[in-house]
Amino acid sequence: MRITFNWGTGIALVYTAFAVATAGFVTFAMGRSVDLVSADYYAQSLQQNEKMDAERNTLRLRPAPSAAQPDGRMVVLSLPADQGGSARGLATLYRPSDATADVSVPLALDGSGHQRISLENLVAGVWILKVRWSAGSRDYYFEQPVLVQ
């Protein structure tokens, strides 16, 4: 038996190739991990106005909060000295490329408003230091990229 190649055979081959390519892509896509920015992104979006208010409060602080890296394995967080004893909050090292690697540290500022945060056990790369705290009756929010070496 000899198969003749005509327009009907060509259409069948195109549809078959399309189906095989689609099945291959679906198999590939299902094997990839999907890391969301946050597991509770919907709840966080509802609190967006509160975060924006906290950022506005932070912009009014003098001196402004900062995070310095004297070396690649330590971050020194600095808040205004008058908030050193009253600030309560959390510093989170957020890893954009891996949602499971995030690390949170409670704020424990010294009298001058400084806190040292070790980066020793973190994977090298870009992280984002996100600091949320309350002092008095106001909430504050500060974030800054950090490079771990």
Rounded distance, CA 141 to CA 51, Å?
7
Instruction: Quote the pLDDT of residue 36.
Output: 63
Of 13, 12, 144, the C-alpha closest to 79 is 144
User: Residue 37: its pLDDT value, please?
Assistant: 64
Decide: helix, strand or coil at residue 82: helix
Q: What is the pLDDT of residue 45?
A: 80
pLDDT at 149: 81
Full set of structural domains in the chain with CATH:
64-148 (2.60.40.10)
Helices (H), 33-133: 41-46, 48-59
Condensed to tens digits (0 to 9), the pLDDT of residues 118-141 reads 888 888 888 999 999 998 888 999
